[in-house]
Amino acid sequence: MKVAEIREDRSSLLASVQQHASRWFDALEKRPVWAMASGDELRRMLGGALPEKGEAPEKIIEALASAGTKGTVASAGPRYFGFVTGGSYPVALAADWLVSAWDQNGAIYVLSPLVSVVEQITGAWLREIAGLPATMSFGFVTGGYMANFTSLAAARHHVLQNAGWDVEANGLFGAPPVDVIVSEESHYTVPMALRLLGLGANRVRRIPTDNQGRMRADALAAALRGGKGPCIVCAQAGNVNTGAFDPLEELAELTKERGAWLHVDGAFGLWAAASPKHAALIRGIEKVDSVASDAHKWINVPYDCGIMFCAHETSHRSAMALAAAYIVTTEGERDPRDFVPELSRRGRAIPAYAAVRAFGRQGFAELIERNCRQARRFAEALRDAGYEVLNDVVLNQVLVSFGTSEQTQRTIAAIQEDATCWCGGTVWKGRTAMRISVSNWSTTDEDVEQSIEAMIRAAGKHVQ
Ligand SMILES: *Cc1c(COP(=O)(O)O)cnc(C)c1O
Protein backbone atom coordinates (compact mmCIF):
# COMPACT_ATOMS: atom_id res chain seq x y z
CA MET A 1 0.00 0.00 0.00
CA LYS A 2 1.48 3.29 -1.09
CA VAL A 3 0.01 5.86 1.20
CA ALA A 4 1.20 8.89 -0.75
CA GLU A 5 -0.35 7.61 -3.99
CA ILE A 6 -3.64 6.76 -2.37
CA ARG A 7 -3.80 10.24 -0.89
CA GLU A 8 -3.05 11.80 -4.21
CA ASP A 9 -5.81 9.85 -5.97
CA ARG A 10 -8.42 10.63 -3.36
CA SER A 11 -9.87 13.72 -5.06
CA SER A 12 -10.26 12.15 -8.49
CA LEU A 13 -11.84 9.08 -6.95
CA LEU A 14 -14.43 11.21 -5.16
CA ALA A 15 -15.01 13.23 -8.34
CA SER A 16 -15.73 10.00 -10.22
CA VAL A 17 -18.28 9.03 -7.57
CA GLN A 18 -19.98 12.36 -8.04
CA GLN A 19 -20.31 11.63 -11.76
CA HIS A 20 -21.66 8.15 -11.14
CA ALA A 21 -24.19 9.55 -8.69
CA SER A 22 -25.26 12.29 -11.10
CA ARG A 23 -25.83 9.73 -13.85
CA TRP A 24 -27.83 7.57 -11.46
CA PHE A 25 -30.00 10.55 -10.52
CA ASP A 26 -30.46 11.54 -14.18
CA ALA A 27 -31.99 8.11 -14.80
CA LEU A 28 -34.02 8.02 -11.59
CA GLU A 29 -37.21 9.56 -12.99
CA LYS A 30 -37.26 7.51 -16.19
CA ARG A 31 -36.03 4.06 -15.24
CA PRO A 32 -38.25 1.16 -14.18
CA VAL A 33 -39.00 1.64 -10.51
CA TRP A 34 -38.04 -1.83 -9.34
CA ALA A 35 -34.57 -3.43 -9.69
CA MET A 36 -33.46 -4.54 -13.15
CA ALA A 37 -31.19 -7.36 -12.03
CA SER A 38 -31.85 -10.52 -10.02
CA GLY A 39 -29.90 -11.60 -6.95
CA ASP A 40 -28.01 -14.14 -9.09
CA GLU A 41 -27.06 -11.51 -11.65
CA LEU A 42 -25.83 -9.21 -8.88
CA ARG A 43 -23.79 -12.00 -7.29
CA ARG A 44 -22.23 -12.65 -10.70
CA MET A 45 -21.39 -8.96 -11.08
CA LEU A 46 -20.00 -8.43 -7.59
CA GLY A 47 -19.01 -11.79 -6.11
CA GLY A 48 -16.20 -14.21 -6.77
CA ALA A 49 -13.26 -15.34 -4.69
CA LEU A 50 -11.88 -13.13 -1.93
CA PRO A 51 -9.33 -10.88 -3.67
CA GLU A 52 -5.81 -11.95 -2.83
CA LYS A 53 -4.32 -8.61 -3.79
CA GLY A 54 -5.97 -5.23 -3.47
CA GLU A 55 -7.63 -3.90 -6.58
CA ALA A 56 -7.60 -0.45 -8.15
CA PRO A 57 -10.11 1.88 -6.48
CA GLU A 58 -11.61 3.14 -9.78
CA LYS A 59 -12.33 -0.42 -10.80
CA ILE A 60 -14.17 -1.12 -7.54
CA ILE A 61 -16.26 2.03 -7.79
CA GLU A 62 -17.09 1.26 -11.40
CA ALA A 63 -18.21 -2.25 -10.50
CA LEU A 64 -20.43 -0.88 -7.73
CA ALA A 65 -21.81 1.91 -9.88
CA SER A 66 -22.62 -0.52 -12.65
CA ALA A 67 -24.32 -2.96 -10.29
CA GLY A 68 -26.07 0.06 -8.71
CA THR A 69 -27.78 1.03 -11.96
CA LYS A 70 -29.32 -2.45 -12.12
CA GLY A 71 -29.67 -3.70 -8.58
CA THR A 72 -31.10 -0.66 -6.83
CA VAL A 73 -34.78 0.12 -6.47
CA ALA A 74 -35.83 3.67 -7.36
CA SER A 75 -37.32 4.08 -3.90
CA ALA A 76 -35.73 7.53 -3.71
CA GLY A 77 -37.57 8.49 -6.89
CA PRO A 78 -40.93 10.20 -7.40
CA ARG A 79 -43.14 7.21 -8.26
CA TYR A 80 -42.27 4.78 -5.51
CA PHE A 81 -45.26 4.42 -3.20
CA GLY A 82 -44.31 1.20 -1.42
CA PHE A 83 -43.87 0.97 2.37
CA VAL A 84 -43.19 4.51 3.70
CA THR A 85 -39.80 5.52 2.42
CA GLY A 86 -39.50 9.23 1.68
CA GLY A 87 -36.61 10.20 -0.54
CA SER A 88 -33.40 12.17 -0.12
CA TYR A 89 -33.64 15.90 -0.41
CA PRO A 90 -30.51 16.84 -2.40
CA VAL A 91 -29.05 19.11 0.27
CA ALA A 92 -29.52 16.35 2.88
CA LEU A 93 -27.69 13.89 0.64
CA ALA A 94 -24.91 16.43 0.05
CA ALA A 95 -24.58 16.90 3.82
CA ASP A 96 -24.51 13.11 4.19
CA TRP A 97 -21.49 13.00 1.89
CA LEU A 98 -19.76 15.47 4.20
CA VAL A 99 -20.59 13.22 7.15
CA SER A 100 -18.83 10.33 5.40
CA ALA A 101 -15.91 12.51 4.39
CA TRP A 102 -15.39 13.82 7.91
CA ASP A 103 -15.72 10.36 9.50
CA GLN A 104 -16.55 11.86 12.88
CA ASN A 105 -17.41 9.72 15.85
CA GLY A 106 -20.54 11.20 17.38
CA ALA A 107 -20.31 9.32 20.66
CA ILE A 108 -19.13 12.09 22.93
CA TYR A 109 -18.39 15.79 22.74
CA VAL A 110 -14.60 15.42 22.84
CA LEU A 111 -14.69 13.08 19.85
CA SER A 112 -16.59 15.62 17.77
CA PRO A 113 -17.87 18.95 19.05
CA LEU A 114 -19.46 19.47 15.62
CA VAL A 115 -21.66 16.37 15.77
CA SER A 116 -22.65 17.11 19.34
CA VAL A 117 -23.66 20.70 18.59
CA VAL A 118 -25.48 19.88 15.34
CA GLU A 119 -27.48 17.19 17.16
CA GLN A 120 -28.42 19.67 19.83
CA ILE A 121 -29.60 22.24 17.28
CA THR A 122 -31.37 19.77 14.97
CA GLY A 123 -33.13 17.87 17.73
CA ALA A 124 -34.51 21.14 19.10
CA TRP A 125 -35.69 22.25 15.65
CA LEU A 126 -37.39 18.92 14.92
CA ARG A 127 -38.98 18.98 18.38
CA GLU A 128 -40.43 22.39 17.57
CA ILE A 129 -41.71 21.25 14.15
CA ALA A 130 -43.40 18.32 15.92
CA GLY A 131 -45.07 20.68 18.40
CA LEU A 132 -43.37 19.03 21.38
CA PRO A 133 -42.41 20.83 24.61
CA ALA A 134 -38.93 22.36 24.68
CA THR A 135 -38.23 20.39 27.87
CA MET A 136 -38.22 17.04 26.04
CA SER A 137 -34.85 15.30 25.67
CA PHE A 138 -34.02 13.51 22.43
CA GLY A 139 -31.69 11.01 20.85
CA PHE A 140 -30.77 10.33 17.22
CA VAL A 141 -30.87 6.63 16.42
CA THR A 142 -30.75 4.46 13.29
CA GLY A 143 -34.51 4.41 12.66
CA GLY A 144 -38.02 4.07 14.02
CA TYR A 145 -37.45 0.62 15.46
CA MET A 146 -34.56 1.83 17.60
CA ALA A 147 -36.51 4.98 18.44
CA ASN A 148 -39.26 2.75 19.84
CA PHE A 149 -36.64 0.69 21.67
CA THR A 150 -34.94 3.72 23.24
CA SER A 151 -38.25 5.27 24.26
CA LEU A 152 -39.44 2.05 25.85
CA ALA A 153 -36.13 1.59 27.66
CA ALA A 154 -36.71 5.00 29.25
CA ALA A 155 -40.28 3.95 30.05
CA ARG A 156 -39.11 0.69 31.64
CA HIS A 157 -36.66 2.58 33.83
CA HIS A 158 -39.21 5.18 34.85
CA VAL A 159 -42.11 2.93 35.83
CA LEU A 160 -39.88 0.50 37.72
CA GLN A 161 -37.99 3.28 39.46
CA ASN A 162 -41.34 4.58 40.69
CA ALA A 163 -41.96 1.11 42.13
CA GLY A 164 -38.59 1.21 43.92
CA TRP A 165 -36.81 -1.10 41.48
CA ASP A 166 -33.50 -0.38 39.70
CA VAL A 167 -33.89 -2.27 36.42
CA GLU A 168 -30.51 -1.22 35.00
CA ALA A 169 -28.71 -2.76 37.98
CA ASN A 170 -30.93 -5.76 38.66
CA GLY A 171 -32.64 -6.55 35.40
CA LEU A 172 -36.16 -7.92 35.46
CA PHE A 173 -35.42 -10.90 37.73
CA GLY A 174 -37.67 -10.47 40.72
CA ALA A 175 -38.89 -7.09 39.53
CA PRO A 176 -42.48 -5.95 40.09
CA PRO A 177 -44.50 -6.98 37.04
CA VAL A 178 -44.93 -4.32 34.37
CA ASP A 179 -48.37 -4.09 32.78
CA VAL A 180 -47.60 -3.50 29.10
CA ILE A 181 -50.51 -2.41 26.95
CA VAL A 182 -50.31 -2.02 23.18
CA SER A 183 -52.76 -1.32 20.41
CA GLU A 184 -53.80 -4.33 18.35
CA GLU A 185 -52.57 -2.16 15.48
CA SER A 186 -49.14 -1.30 16.95
CA HIS A 187 -46.40 -1.46 14.34
CA TYR A 188 -44.53 -4.75 14.69
CA THR A 189 -41.35 -2.93 15.78
CA VAL A 190 -43.13 -2.18 19.08
CA PRO A 191 -43.34 -5.86 20.15
CA MET A 192 -39.84 -6.32 18.73
CA ALA A 193 -38.55 -3.55 20.99
CA LEU A 194 -40.45 -5.01 23.96
CA ARG A 195 -38.81 -8.36 23.23
CA LEU A 196 -35.32 -6.84 23.34
CA LEU A 197 -36.19 -5.13 26.62
CA GLY A 198 -37.19 -8.38 28.31
CA LEU A 199 -40.80 -7.22 28.50
CA GLY A 200 -41.96 -9.89 26.06
CA ALA A 201 -43.52 -9.50 22.64
CA ASN A 202 -46.60 -11.52 23.58
CA ARG A 203 -46.84 -10.83 27.30
CA VAL A 204 -48.90 -7.72 26.57
CA ARG A 205 -52.52 -6.71 26.60
CA ARG A 206 -53.85 -5.65 23.20
CA ILE A 207 -56.45 -2.93 22.95
CA PRO A 208 -58.98 -3.22 20.12
CA THR A 209 -59.21 -0.53 17.47
CA ASP A 210 -61.98 1.02 15.39
CA ASN A 211 -62.46 0.51 11.64
CA GLN A 212 -59.59 2.89 10.84
CA GLY A 213 -57.16 1.19 13.22
CA ARG A 214 -57.39 3.81 15.99
CA MET A 215 -57.06 2.56 19.56
CA ARG A 216 -60.43 2.71 21.27
CA ALA A 217 -60.18 5.05 24.25
CA ASP A 218 -63.12 3.36 26.01
CA ALA A 219 -61.37 0.00 25.74
CA LEU A 220 -58.16 1.47 27.13
CA ALA A 221 -60.11 3.07 29.97
CA ALA A 222 -61.57 -0.35 30.83
CA ALA A 223 -58.13 -1.99 30.68
CA LEU A 224 -56.63 0.64 32.99
CA ARG A 225 -59.49 0.74 35.51
CA GLY A 226 -58.37 -0.12 39.02
CA GLY A 227 -54.85 -0.99 37.89
CA LYS A 228 -51.86 -0.30 40.13
CA GLY A 229 -48.10 -0.47 39.76
CA PRO A 230 -45.82 -0.11 36.75
CA CYS A 231 -47.68 0.33 33.47
CA ILE A 232 -46.64 1.27 29.92
CA VAL A 233 -49.12 2.05 27.13
CA CYS A 234 -48.01 2.08 23.46
CA ALA A 235 -50.12 4.15 21.06
CA GLN A 236 -49.48 5.37 17.57
CA ALA A 237 -49.71 8.45 15.38
CA GLY A 238 -49.95 7.29 11.76
CA ASN A 239 -51.08 3.71 11.14
CA VAL A 240 -48.89 2.10 8.43
CA ASN A 241 -51.99 0.99 6.55
CA THR A 242 -54.58 3.72 7.00
CA GLY A 243 -52.48 6.64 8.27
CA ALA A 244 -54.98 6.98 11.17
CA PHE A 245 -54.07 8.50 14.54
CA ASP A 246 -54.96 7.19 17.99
CA PRO A 247 -56.94 9.77 20.03
CA LEU A 248 -53.85 10.98 21.90
CA GLU A 249 -55.56 13.67 23.93
CA GLU A 250 -57.94 11.16 25.51
CA LEU A 251 -55.28 8.49 25.90
CA ALA A 252 -52.96 10.95 27.65
CA GLU A 253 -55.67 11.80 30.16
CA LEU A 254 -56.34 8.13 30.91
CA THR A 255 -52.68 7.20 31.32
CA LYS A 256 -52.05 10.23 33.49
CA GLU A 257 -54.86 9.23 35.85
CA ARG A 258 -53.46 5.71 36.06
CA GLY A 259 -49.85 6.90 36.49
CA ALA A 260 -48.90 4.97 33.34
CA TRP A 261 -46.29 5.91 30.75
CA LEU A 262 -47.72 6.80 27.35
CA HIS A 263 -45.46 6.06 24.38
CA VAL A 264 -46.37 7.05 20.83
CA ASP A 265 -44.95 5.56 17.65
CA GLY A 266 -45.08 8.41 15.15
CA ALA A 267 -42.56 7.13 12.64
CA PHE A 268 -44.06 9.16 9.81
CA GLY A 269 -47.30 10.51 11.33
CA LEU A 270 -45.53 12.78 13.83
CA TRP A 271 -44.80 15.21 11.01
CA ALA A 272 -48.50 15.90 10.46
CA ALA A 273 -47.80 18.43 13.20
CA ALA A 274 -45.79 20.47 10.69
CA SER A 275 -48.92 21.26 8.69
CA PRO A 276 -51.56 23.56 10.18
CA LYS A 277 -54.11 21.69 8.03
CA HIS A 278 -53.27 18.32 9.56
CA ALA A 279 -52.04 19.21 13.05
CA ALA A 280 -55.48 18.49 14.57
CA LEU A 281 -54.91 14.78 13.85
CA ILE A 282 -52.10 14.70 16.38
CA ARG A 283 -53.64 16.86 19.08
CA GLY A 284 -52.37 15.84 22.51
CA ILE A 285 -48.89 14.79 21.34
CA GLU A 286 -47.42 17.44 23.68
CA LYS A 287 -48.82 15.52 26.68
CA VAL A 288 -47.23 12.12 26.07
CA ASP A 289 -44.17 10.64 27.79
CA SER A 290 -42.19 9.51 24.76
CA VAL A 291 -42.37 9.71 20.98
CA ALA A 292 -40.52 7.67 18.36
CA SER A 293 -40.08 8.91 14.82
CA ASP A 294 -38.02 8.78 11.66
CA ALA A 295 -36.29 11.49 9.71
CA HIS A 296 -35.45 9.09 6.87
CA LYS A 297 -39.10 8.81 5.95
CA TRP A 298 -41.07 12.04 5.61
CA ILE A 299 -38.27 14.43 6.54
CA ASN A 300 -36.60 13.08 3.38
CA VAL A 301 -33.04 12.52 4.56
CA PRO A 302 -30.93 9.50 3.52
CA TYR A 303 -31.28 6.32 5.53
CA ASP A 304 -29.97 5.90 9.03
CA CYS A 305 -31.84 8.64 10.82
CA GLY A 306 -34.47 8.05 13.48
CA ILE A 307 -35.22 10.29 16.43
CA MET A 308 -36.97 9.85 19.76
CA PHE A 309 -38.18 12.40 22.29
CA CYS A 310 -38.71 11.89 26.00
CA ALA A 311 -40.56 13.99 28.59
CA HIS A 312 -38.41 12.64 31.45
CA GLU A 313 -34.79 13.43 30.73
CA THR A 314 -33.49 11.82 33.92
CA SER A 315 -35.19 8.51 33.14
CA HIS A 316 -34.03 8.74 29.53
CA ARG A 317 -30.42 9.27 30.57
CA SER A 318 -30.62 6.66 33.34
CA ALA A 319 -31.73 4.06 30.80
CA MET A 320 -28.94 4.88 28.35
CA ALA A 321 -25.89 6.46 29.96
CA LEU A 322 -23.21 4.41 31.66
CA ALA A 323 -19.96 5.72 33.12
CA ALA A 324 -16.63 4.29 32.00
CA ALA A 325 -13.18 5.36 33.08
CA TYR A 326 -12.03 6.45 29.62
CA ILE A 327 -15.22 8.33 28.73
CA VAL A 328 -14.55 12.01 29.17
CA THR A 329 -17.54 14.18 29.80
CA THR A 330 -17.52 17.88 29.10
CA GLU A 331 -19.30 20.21 31.45
CA GLY A 332 -22.19 21.98 29.77
CA GLU A 333 -21.87 20.05 26.51
CA ARG A 334 -23.99 17.25 25.03
CA ASP A 335 -22.58 13.74 24.88
CA PRO A 336 -24.86 12.13 22.30
CA ARG A 337 -24.27 8.60 23.62
CA ASP A 338 -26.04 9.52 26.88
CA PHE A 339 -29.34 9.37 24.98
CA VAL A 340 -28.97 6.31 22.72
CA PRO A 341 -28.02 2.61 22.91
CA GLU A 342 -24.80 3.21 20.95
CA LEU A 343 -21.28 4.44 21.45
CA SER A 344 -19.38 4.95 18.17
CA ARG A 345 -21.87 6.34 15.72
CA ARG A 346 -22.12 8.45 12.59
CA GLY A 347 -23.10 12.14 12.66
CA ARG A 348 -26.58 11.24 11.51
CA ALA A 349 -28.18 14.49 12.59
CA ILE A 350 -26.16 16.45 10.03
CA PRO A 351 -28.27 15.55 6.95
CA ALA A 352 -31.39 16.32 8.99
CA TYR A 353 -29.88 19.68 9.94
CA ALA A 354 -29.45 20.49 6.25
CA ALA A 355 -33.01 19.36 5.44
CA VAL A 356 -34.55 21.50 8.19
CA ARG A 357 -32.66 24.58 7.03
CA ALA A 358 -33.57 23.95 3.41
CA PHE A 359 -37.30 23.32 3.98
CA GLY A 360 -37.94 25.61 6.91
CA ARG A 361 -41.18 25.38 8.83
CA GLN A 362 -43.18 26.46 5.78
CA GLY A 363 -41.42 24.07 3.44
CA PHE A 364 -42.31 21.11 5.66
CA ALA A 365 -45.92 22.25 5.87
CA GLU A 366 -46.03 22.45 2.07
CA LEU A 367 -44.40 19.04 1.62
CA ILE A 368 -46.83 17.33 4.01
CA GLU A 369 -49.82 19.08 2.44
CA ARG A 370 -48.75 18.29 -1.12
CA ASN A 371 -48.18 14.59 -0.38
CA CYS A 372 -51.52 14.35 1.46
CA ARG A 373 -53.30 16.08 -1.39
CA GLN A 374 -51.67 13.62 -3.80
CA ALA A 375 -52.87 10.70 -1.66
CA ARG A 376 -56.42 12.08 -1.83
CA ARG A 377 -56.08 12.39 -5.61
CA PHE A 378 -55.09 8.69 -5.85
CA ALA A 379 -58.13 7.76 -3.79
CA GLU A 380 -60.51 9.91 -5.83
CA ALA A 381 -59.24 8.69 -9.22
CA LEU A 382 -59.29 5.01 -8.27
CA ARG A 383 -62.76 5.37 -6.76
CA ASP A 384 -63.97 7.08 -9.94
CA ALA A 385 -62.54 4.18 -11.93
CA GLY A 386 -64.76 1.84 -9.92
CA TYR A 387 -62.36 0.51 -7.33
CA GLU A 388 -62.89 0.53 -3.60
CA VAL A 389 -60.84 2.69 -1.23
CA LEU A 390 -60.84 0.94 2.13
CA ASN A 391 -59.69 3.76 4.42
CA ASP A 392 -60.53 7.36 5.22
CA VAL A 393 -57.62 9.14 3.56
CA VAL A 394 -56.66 11.46 6.43
CA LEU A 395 -52.93 11.60 5.69
CA ASN A 396 -50.66 10.09 3.02
CA GLN A 397 -51.84 6.46 3.02
CA VAL A 398 -54.39 4.92 0.65
CA LEU A 399 -55.69 1.33 0.68
CA VAL A 400 -57.30 0.10 -2.51
CA SER A 401 -59.12 -3.11 -3.31
CA PHE A 402 -59.48 -4.09 -6.96
CA GLY A 403 -62.15 -6.69 -6.22
CA THR A 404 -61.50 -10.14 -4.85
CA SER A 405 -58.29 -10.95 -3.04
CA GLU A 406 -57.01 -12.68 -6.19
CA GLN A 407 -57.90 -9.80 -8.47
CA THR A 408 -56.16 -7.38 -6.13
CA GLN A 409 -53.05 -9.53 -5.91
CA ARG A 410 -52.88 -9.97 -9.67
CA THR A 411 -53.33 -6.24 -10.18
CA ILE A 412 -50.55 -5.40 -7.72
CA ALA A 413 -48.24 -7.84 -9.54
CA ALA A 414 -49.14 -6.27 -12.90
CA ILE A 415 -48.53 -2.75 -11.56
CA GLN A 416 -45.14 -3.83 -10.25
CA GLU A 417 -44.28 -5.47 -13.57
CA ASP A 418 -45.33 -2.42 -15.56
CA ALA A 419 -42.78 -0.54 -13.39
CA THR A 420 -44.17 2.96 -13.97
CA CYS A 421 -44.62 3.04 -10.22
CA TRP A 422 -44.35 0.62 -7.33
CA CYS A 423 -46.87 -0.26 -4.62
CA GLY A 424 -47.00 -3.20 -2.28
CA GLY A 425 -49.82 -5.28 -0.89
CA THR A 426 -51.26 -5.59 2.58
CA VAL A 427 -54.19 -7.13 4.39
CA TRP A 428 -56.52 -4.66 6.08
CA LYS A 429 -59.18 -6.02 8.48
CA GLY A 430 -59.16 -9.30 6.58
CA ARG A 431 -59.16 -7.78 3.09
CA THR A 432 -56.33 -7.87 0.58
CA ALA A 433 -55.42 -4.36 -0.50
CA MET A 434 -52.83 -2.37 -2.34
CA ARG A 435 -51.13 0.22 -0.21
CA ILE A 436 -50.15 3.62 -1.62
CA SER A 437 -47.90 5.74 0.52
CA VAL A 438 -46.92 9.23 -0.64
CA SER A 439 -43.93 10.69 1.19
CA ASN A 440 -41.36 11.81 -1.35
CA TRP A 441 -40.35 15.45 -1.85
CA SER A 442 -39.93 14.93 -5.61
CA THR A 443 -43.35 13.45 -6.40
CA THR A 444 -45.12 15.85 -8.78
CA ASP A 445 -48.80 15.88 -9.69
CA GLU A 446 -47.75 14.57 -13.11
CA ASP A 447 -46.10 11.58 -11.45
CA VAL A 448 -49.36 10.91 -9.65
CA GLU A 449 -51.44 11.08 -12.87
CA GLN A 450 -48.97 8.86 -14.70
CA SER A 451 -49.13 6.34 -11.86
CA ILE A 452 -52.93 6.41 -11.72
CA GLU A 453 -53.02 5.62 -15.45
CA ALA A 454 -50.65 2.70 -14.97
CA MET A 455 -52.76 1.37 -12.08
CA ILE A 456 -56.02 1.59 -13.99
CA ARG A 457 -54.39 0.02 -17.05
CA ALA A 458 -53.10 -2.91 -14.98
CA ALA A 459 -56.38 -3.35 -13.14
CA GLY A 460 -58.32 -3.31 -16.44
CA LYS A 461 -56.43 -6.40 -17.58
CA HIS A 462 -57.07 -8.34 -14.39
CA VAL A 463 -60.49 -7.29 -13.25
CA GLN A 464 -63.60 -7.97 -15.30
C1 LIG B 1 -41.33 2.53 9.48
C2 LIG B 1 -42.01 2.43 10.75
C3 LIG B 1 -41.36 1.91 11.89
C4 LIG B 1 -39.97 1.37 11.83
O5 LIG B 1 -39.05 2.36 11.46
P6 LIG B 1 -37.62 1.99 10.85
O7 LIG B 1 -37.05 3.32 10.54
O8 LIG B 1 -37.89 1.13 9.65
O9 LIG B 1 -36.86 1.27 11.90
C10 LIG B 1 -42.05 1.90 13.08
N11 LIG B 1 -43.31 2.34 13.16
C12 LIG B 1 -43.98 2.82 12.10
C13 LIG B 1 -45.38 3.32 12.27
C14 LIG B 1 -43.36 2.89 10.85
O15 LIG B 1 -44.00 3.40 9.80
pLDDT digits over 60-73, tens only? 999 999 999 999 99
Do the domain assignments include residue 298? yes
**322 pLDDT above the threshold of 90:** no
What's the predicted TM-score (pTM) here? Answer: 0.97
10 Å Cβ neighbour count for 222?
11
Do the domain assignments include residue 406? no
Please check whether residues 154 and 272 belong to one and the same domain: yes
Percent with pLDDT over 90 in the chain: 95
**128 pLDDT above the threshold of 70:** yes
Is the distance from the beta carbon of residue 84 to the nearest atom of ligand 1 less than 6 Å?
yes
Do the domain assignments include residue 452? no
Mean pLDDT for the stretch of residues 113-139: 98
296 C-alpha to center of ligand 1: Å? 10
- pLDDT at 464 (0 to 100): 62
Buried b (16+ CB within 10 A) or exposed e, 151-164: bbbbbbbbbbbeee
148 C-alpha to center of ligand 1: Å? 9
Which pLDDT tens digit goes with each residue over 355-394? 999 999 999 999 999 999 999 999 999 999 999 999 999 9
Beta carbons within 8 Å of 87's beta carbon, 6+ residues apart:
75, 76, 77, 78, 300, 439, 440, 441, 442
Average pLDDT, the chain: 96
Which pLDDT tens digit goes with each residue over 276-305? 999 999 999 999 999 999 999 999 999 999
Please check whether residues 69 and 156 belong to one and the same domain: no
Please check whether residues 178 and 54 belong to one and the same domain: no
Report the half-sphere exposure of 90 (CA within 13 A, side-chain side): 6
Please check whether residues 338 and 195 belong to one and the same domain: yes
- pLDDT at 462 (0 to 100): 79
165 C-alpha to center of ligand 1: Å? 31
Please check whether residues 9 and 117 belong to one and the same domain: no
Which residues form the domain of 27?
3-74
The residue from 326, 354, 382 where one domain ends is: 354
**182 pLDDT above the threshold of 90:** yes
The residue from 296, 330, 354 where one domain ends is: 354
Please check whether residues 163 and 227 belong to one and the same domain: yes
Residue among 92, 65, 232 nearest 151 (CA): 232
Is the distance from the beta carbon of residue 294 to the nearest atom of ligand 1 less than 6 Å?
yes
Domain of residue 209, CATH code? 3.40.640.10
The residue from 314, 331, 354 where one domain ends is: 354
The tally of domains found in the chain comes to 2
Which position has the higher pLDDT, 103 or 463?
A: 103
Which pLDDT tens digit goes with each residue over 43-90? 999 999 999 999 999 999 999 999 999 999 999 999 999 999 999 999
Which pLDDT tens digit goes with each residue over 213-262? 999 999 999 999 999 999 999 999 999 999 999 999 999 999 999 999 99
Please check whether residues 29 and 128 belong to one and the same domain: no
Q: Do the Cβ atoms of 128 and 134 come closer than 8 Å?
A: yes
Ligand 1 pocket: which of 145, 307, 438 to mutate (most atoms <8 Å of CB)? Answer: 145
Do the domain assignments include residue 422? no
Is the distance from the beta carbon of residue 185 to the nearest atom of ligand 1 less than 6 Å?
no
Please check whether residues 69 and 133 belong to one and the same domain: no
Please check whether residues 57 and 178 belong to one and the same domain: no
- pLDDT at 97 (0 to 100): 98
Do the domain assignments include residue 146? yes
Q: Do the Cβ atoms of 33 and 85 come closer than 8 Å?
A: no
- pLDDT at 412 (0 to 100): 97
Beta carbons within 8 Å of 336's beta carbon, 6+ residues apart:
106, 107, 108, 115, 116, 119, 139, 140, 345
